[in-house]
Structure 1
Amino acid sequence: MNATPSPAEAARTAGPPVLIGALAPLTRPGWVEAGRHLLAGLDLAVREVNEGGGITGRPLELVVRDTAADPHRAAAAVDELAHLGVAALAGEYHSVVARAAASRADALGLPFLCSSAVLDALTDVPTRQVARLAPAQSHGWRIYADFLLGAGHERIAVATEPSLYWASGTRLLRERLAPHGGTVTELDTRALTPAAVCDALAEQRATALLLLVGHPEPAVPLVRSVRRDPRLTDVMIGAPAGQPEFAGWAEALGADGAAIPFLRYLPERLGPLGARVATALRERLAEPPSFVAFEGYDTITVLAALLRARGTDGARGDVPWPGVTVEGTRGRIGFSRAPGISVWQWSWAPVQIADRDPAALDRFRILRTG
């Protein structure tokens, strides 16, 4: 799947295209809605780069590969894209998938700018090839834990599935809450039905249930069960991984999907560039763009600056991420080494905790920023 330059873009550029390999979950069990938003942002930015003359007169071209949330498929895609001669890799939403892609890109000496995945250990060892736009999980989820404490929640239950990402999130929450007397109890959704989860919440007198599970299954039936249980009317449901950000959440749950706080990576107000891009993305998506779409756009903005500075001949070796500074849709972007993070990191993208307004499901309320 390639996103080739339009005739208008081709008229402004000449020569062979500069290929960018784009990784995104476009089929299930991947989070397809997130992949669609990510690709919309990537594609919009490529078209704007080409309208501005491309990379030293050559057009950018996306070579898109569907990861379908499969780490092995992602690693194979990296090998294929490297063989095709891509100058860099971009994208991916799922953390475990991005980790597989990052490790393979590092081994091949191929620049990879990860758009959305947040897992701290994106590679096993420090790498000079890989950089990331999204905040590390330890940064965002600690902000979420502080939000829980500030709202008076100390007895937390987490509905979980087996995953390195969910396990890391549970550990981060427990480490942040424990010094303040907070507890985190895990409820395994493989062994418990939604009704059994409700029984456990009532028995443990939990004040908050966090959904560390996939969407729509089992997140949607869990929310419905908790909302309809008269014993749990005061239990807050939370989704730190950001499930309520997407329109499919509101479509599946209606009013039950409101007032569920989640993490998103946007400023309180977009600047002129962000506002312009938001309008263009909304036209492309036929719905409000998520923060993931902005991450996609910013990814290409950064890579275009990198390729102009580094060249497009596919040379391997250290990538000069620290020398790249650009104006993104959500602020000024630059890269450095953050403590405990193995990749070059934008420290940090803006963080919000938001929820859908019960009075208007298409409107978001900002509950906390960080």
Structure 2
Amino acid sequence: MNMSSSAVRIGALVPLTRPGWTEAGRHLLAGLELAVHEVNEVGGIAGRPLELVVRDTAADPDRAAAAVDELAGLGVAALAGEYHSVVARAAAARADALGLPFLCSSAVLDALTDGPTPWVARLAPAQSHGWRVYADFLLDAGHRRIAVATQPSVYWASGTRLLRDRLAPRGGTVVELDTRELDPAALCDALVGHGATALLLLVGLPEPAAGIVRAVRADPRLAGTLIGAPAGQPEFAGWEALLGGDGAAVPFLRYLPERLTALGARVDAALRERLAAAPSFVAFEGYDTIAVLADVLRSEGADRDRIAAAWPRVAVEGTRGTVRFSREPGIGVSQWVWPPVQVVDRDPADPDRFRVLRTG
């Protein structure tokens, strides 16, 4: 993108190459770019064009931190984006150190920063909120013996702890199955041995997630076992393309309301054209990020201190509701409390159709 000296610049952190979740990155970027285009169509920021300066994080925390340093040096007024929680945490730490406002679009890890910071705000719900909704869905569906297929990650470890804390007081148990030690066949044997009625995929995509799903679906001993993916892997078309019917009836979390706002309905149509596919909740998060930043830039200008000081005063109509930030216990950033949360799966009779199983 050619940068104009008169433009108001926003740095965008997006996973666009592997091992990043590139489909999520593509949707996030589509939402960001659509919103920037629409801001500029109505005059930009006080007559100045809004410009997105995109950097690919590739799910690498060090690469993200270096990008924050570079973007700060380029004079961006604020940062936007990022999908992966561990990457967003590294970006948030650098933004805090540099005094650079960062509106995080999609990452949910509660401890996005080590402590309170005035510089960072977040649109996505905290993991503790969304995953409690998911745990309650499991309990209401009668699941008390839960297994989680895991890989090493602060994000997955946090999710396991949240599930255990929510399930244990209600008689639920959570057993961890380490996918570094168990191949899909051995994992199936472990599921039978533990008597688990649900298996949650706290692992990467395409592998080992796809191999595990195929193995469980093919094992007659596990015919009644629920497979779940709270982190949202089945949201994207790549999941269906990879797994077909095996990928249906896998409940996951997404952050959409029962009905989009009037703005959201219009944005939905525009995103479908850009993506040539149905937009995911991540695309709407991207759009809402720019909607918030543009509103703040119009009122406060491009001064970084004033932008960060404005988080508590934000009241912006987004695609999924009115965005307002507050300070929540245990969360060091300004947080939208709360975006809409749904537990959803793909309908086995029509995998292109989503079924809403619970809201929260």
What TM-score does the superposition give when structure 1 sets the normalisation length? Answer: 0.96
Note the alpha carbon deviations across 1:83-138, whole angstroms, 9 max, x for none.
00000000000000000000100110000000000000000010000000000000
> Could you tell me how far apart the structure 2 residues matched to 1:170 and 1:81 are?
35
CA RMSD of aligned residues (A): 1.2
Q: Within 5 Å, give how 1:139-178 maps onto structure 2.
A: 139-178=129-168
Who is 1:93 aligned against?
Answer: 83
Residue 277 of structure 1 aligns with an amino acid whose one-letter code is: V
Who is 1:116 aligned against?
Answer: 106
Q: In the alignment, does 2:281 pair up with 1:287?
A: no
Who is 1:30 aligned against?
Answer: 20
Who is 2:288 aligned against?
Answer: 298
Distance 1:339 1:23, change over 3 A: same
Who is 2:171 aligned against?
Answer: 181
Who is 1:62 aligned against?
Answer: 52
Distance 1:296 1:159, change over 3 A: same
2:260 to 255, 270, 279: 270
Note the alpha carbon deviations across 1:7-54, whole angstroms, 9 max, x for none.
xxxxxxxx7110000001000000000000000000000000000110
> Could you tell me how far apart the structure 2 residues matched to 1:241 and 1:97 are?
15
2:210 to 209, 220, 225: 220
How many angstroms does 1:271 deviate by? Answer: 2.2
Whether the 8 Å contact between 1:42 and 1:300 is mirrored in structure 2 is yes
> Could you tell me how far apart the structure 2 residues matched to 1:299 and 1:251 are?
29
Q: Within 5 Å, give how 1:217-256 maps onto structure 2.
A: 217-256=207-246
Who is 1:73 aligned against?
Answer: 63
Whether the 8 Å contact between 2:202 and 2:231 is mirrored in structure 1 is yes
Whether the 8 Å contact between 1:271 and 1:329 is mirrored in structure 2 is yes
> Could you tell me how far apart the structure 1 residues matched to 2:260 and 2:123 are?
17
Q: Describe the SS at the equivalent of 2:352.
A: strand
> Could you tell me how far apart the structure 2 residues matched to 1:155 and 1:179 are?
13
Q: Within 5 Å, give how 1:344-359 maps onto structure 2.
A: 344-359=334-349
Whether the 8 Å contact between 2:64 and 2:87 is mirrored in structure 1 is yes
How many angstroms does 1:319 deviate by? Answer: 2.6
How many angstroms does 1:308 deviate by? Answer: 1.4
Identity of aligned residues (%): 77
Whether the 8 Å contact between 1:37 and 1:292 is mirrored in structure 2 is yes
Q: Describe the SS at the equivalent of 1:195.
A: helix
Whether the 8 Å contact between 1:55 and 1:308 is mirrored in structure 2 is yes
Note the alpha carbon deviations across 1:289-339, whole angstroms, 9 max, x for none.
000000000000000011112211455785320111100000010101012
Structure 2: 5+ residue runs without aligned partners? none
Residue 130 of structure 2 aligns with an amino acid whose one-letter code is: G
Residue 85 of structure 1 aligns with an amino acid whose one-letter code is: G
Structure 1: 5+ residue runs without aligned partners? 6-14
Note the alpha carbon deviations across 1:249-300, whole angstroms, 9 max, x for none.
0000000000000000000111211111000000000000000000000000
Distance 1:342 1:3, change over 3 A: farther
What TM-score does the superposition give when structure 2 sets the normalisation length? Answer: 0.98
> Could you tell me how far apart the structure 2 residues matched to 1:315 and 1:270 are?
33
Whether the 8 Å contact between 2:61 and 2:91 is mirrored in structure 1 is yes
Note the alpha carbon deviations across 1:210-262, whole angstroms, 9 max, x for none.
00000111100000000000000000000000000000000000000000000
> Could you tell me how far apart the structure 2 residues matched to 1:141 and 1:46 are?
31
How many angstroms does 1:159 deviate by? Answer: 0.1
Q: In the alignment, does 2:52 pair up with 1:50?
A: no
Residue 328 of structure 2 aligns with an amino acid whose one-letter code is: A
Q: Describe the SS at the equivalent of 1:127.
A: coil
